[in-house]
Amino acid sequence: MLERKGLIFGFIIVVFGAISNICECDGQNISRASFPKGFVFGTASSAYQYEGAVKEDGRGQTIWDTFAHTFGKVLDFSNADVANDHYHHYNEDVQLMKDMGMDAFRLSIAWSRIYPNGTGKINQAGIDHYNNVINALLAQGIEPYVTLYHWDLPQSLEDRYTGWLNPQSIKDFTTYAETCFKEFGDRVKHWITFNEPHTFAVQGYDVGLQAPGRCSILLHSFCRAGNSATEPYIVAHNVLLAHANVVDIYKKIYKTKQHGSIGITLDSFWYEAATNTSEDIQATQRAIDFNLGWFIEPLIVGEYPKSMRDRVGNRLPIFSTEQSRQVKGSFDFIGINHYTTWYASKDRINLIGGLLNDSQADSGAFTFPMAIGKPTRDRANSVWLYIVPSGIRSLMNYIRQKYGNPLVMITENGMDDGNKAFSSIKQDTKRIKYHNDYLTELLAAIKEDGCNVRGYFVWSMLDNWEWAGGYGSRFGLYYVDFNDKLRKRYAKDSVKWFKNFLAS
C-alpha cells in the first residue's frame, strides 16, 4: 500500500481542526458495461500482508519479519506471522473472488519462499505453493497478475551486503526473477517487477518508518544506521536498474514464447497547488517530480526529472549511456497505485528543510491534505487518506499529456475503516461511494479524455496487516476476524455492490 504519510504529518490534523464530511464527487450509476471491452477488474494483495505461515515450508526470514518484531516499529505492536492466513485459505479466497465476478488477482511472490537465503538453492516447497495458487486462480477463470517484489527482501541479503544499497542486489533479484519466469511463466501472463519503489526508498531509507528502518534525520534515535540525504537515491537507482535488467531478460528470452507482458507499479498522490501563485505552482510540480517523476521519468526518457537533478546535485546517481538506454522504455505497462490528493506549496519558512536533510527537504515543497480557503474533504480512517475522486482523473491526464499516454493499470485504489467490530462496519457505504466515485472519474478519463487505462484493482479484497499500521486499518471488501484462529471472512456491503457492478 501507499506510504503512511500520516505518521509524519499527523500534526496537520490538529492544526486544521475538525473536518466536515463532504464528498467532492457525487458519482453516477456505472457498471462493468460502462467500461471498454476487455477492461480488467480485480483485487490486489501482497505476500507479507496476506499469507502468514512465515516459518512454514522452508520460507526464509525477511526484513519485514525483523522490523515487525522490533519493539515500537508497529503502531499496535502486532506482526504478520499469521496475517490473513491466505497461505492456508487461498482456495477459499479464490472462490470469493470468483463469486464477486473479478477478472484478476494481483498477488506477490515472497522472494524468501523461492530462495530462503535470497540466493543459492531453490526451495521446492515455495515453487509448489505458488504453482497451486496460480492453478487455483486459472481454474476459476481468474488471471494472475504477479508482483515479484512487494517490499519483503530476504533478511540474509540485508545482513550480507545491506540489500538494495548494494549493486549486488541487482544480480540476485535478476536470478530470482528469472527463476519465476521459468517456473510460472507458462501460466502467468502479467508480471510486475516492483511495487511502489518510491515508498520503500523513502519510508525504509529516508524516514526509517518501514523496513529496514534506516535514517539519519530527527527520527535517528529510532534508526540504527543510515543516511537520509543519500540512501533513498541509491536504493531507487539500484531498483530501477534491477527492473530494467529483468525486463530486458524477459523480453529477450521469455516474452515471445510465453506471450506475456511486464511492467512496474508506482505509487502517486495527486498534488494541487495551495494557491495560484507561481511559487506554489512550481512547488506542486516539484512535489510530483519527487514522487511519480522520480521513477516514471527514467522509464520514459532515460533520466531523472530536471528538478531532481538540479536540486539534489551529486547525491543523485547518474545513469550511464547504456543504463539510460536500458531503463528507457522498459515496460509494457505502468501500474499506478493511487488513493488520495493533497495540496502543495513552496516551503517558504523552510519548515521541512529546517527539520530534515533528506529527499523530502530536497523538493522544497510542503505537502499537506488541507489548505486554508479550499473546500474541506471527507477522510477515510487513515490520517493521510482524503477522499478526492477527481484526483485520479487529473493524475491519469497528467501521465497522458506529459508522458505520451502509456498503457496504465490502476493496480491499487481503496479506503480503510478503523479496527472495529464487524457489526459496526458491515454497512460500508463510504467505501461503496469511494469506489463508485473514483471509478466514475476514471471512466471519464478514459472515455472523455482518451487516457490509456485498461484495468482497476481494488485494495483490497480482505482486511489485512497494514505494515507499520498493523491491524488498525481495514481496507477489505471482506472483514477478517483477526481474533479467530481460522481468520474467518465476512462480506461487507461493498462485496454486494461490486458483485452487482461486475454482473452487468
Report pLDDT digits (tens) over 391-403: 999 999 999 999 9
Bridging pattern class, strands 341-346 and 365-368? antiparallel
Q: In whole angstroms, what is the distance from residue 234 CA to residue 171 CA?
A: 16
pLDDT at 80 over 50: yes
Question: Which top CATH class is 35-503?
Answer: alpha beta
Domain ranges in the chain are 35-503
Q: What's the mean pLDDT in 151-175?
A: 98
Residue 354 has pLDDT above 60, yes or no: no
- Identity of the residue numbered 140: Q
pLDDT tens digits along 244-294: 999 999 999 999 999 999 999 999 999 999 999 999 999 999 999 999 999
pLDDT of residue 29: 86
The pLDDT value given to residue 504? 76
- pLDDT for res 25: 35
Distance CA 69, CA 251 (A): 39
Q: CB count, 10 Å around CB of 30?
A: 17
At 417, which amino acid appears? D
Catalytic residue chosen out of the listed positions 3, 412, 441, 466 = 412
Tell me the three cell numbers of residue 373. 480557503
pLDDT of residue 353: 57
Assigned C-alpha cell, 107: 498477488
Dist CA 60 CA 172 (whole Å): 15
How far does CA 157 lie from the centroid of its chain?
22
Q: Are 188 and 142 in contact (CB under 8 A)?
A: no
Alpha helix stretches (DSSP H) within 189-230? 197-205
For range 207-216, the mean pLDDT? 95
> What percentage of the chain exceeds 90 in pLDDT?
89
51 is catalytic: no
pLDDT tens by residue, 7-54: 444 433 333 333 333 333 333 589 999 999 999 999 999 999 999 999
What single DSSP character describes residue 70?
S
- Cis peptide bond N-terminal to 298, omega within 30: no
Radius of gyration of the chain (CA): 21
What is the β-pairing status of strands 365-368 and 333-337?
A: unpaired
Q: What SS3 class is residue 272?
A: strand
Report the pLDDT value the prediction gives residue 348, as an integer from 0 to 100.
76
CB 409 within 8 A of CB 416: no
Among 51, 158, 183, 196, the active-site one is: 196
- How does the average pLDDT of the chain come out, rounded? 93
Q: Is the pLDDT of residue 4 over 50?
A: no
For residue 463, pLDDT beyond 70: yes
- CB distance 148 to 191 below 8 Å: yes
pLDDT in tens, 82-110: 999 999 999 999 999 999 999 999 999 99
Q: The C-alpha cell of 50 is what?
A: 496476506
Average pLDDT over residues 120-145: 98
What pLDDT score was predicted for residue 217?
79
Give the Cα separation of 275 and 346 in Å (integer): 10
- pLDDT score, position 416: 98
231 given a catalytic annotation: no
| pLDDT class of 221 with cuts at 50, 70, 90 | low
Q: Dump pLDDT digits (tens) for 50-66.
A: 999 999 999 999 999 99
Look at residues 63, 141, 134 and name the one whose alpha carbon lies nearest to residue 102: 141
- pLDDT-derived band at 2 (thresholds 50, 70, 90) equals very low
Cβ contacts of residue 414 below 8 Å, gap of 6+?
339, 431, 434, 435, 458, 459, 460, 475
pLDDT above 70 as % of the chain: 92
Whole-angstrom distance, CA of residue 49 vs CA of residue 85: 9
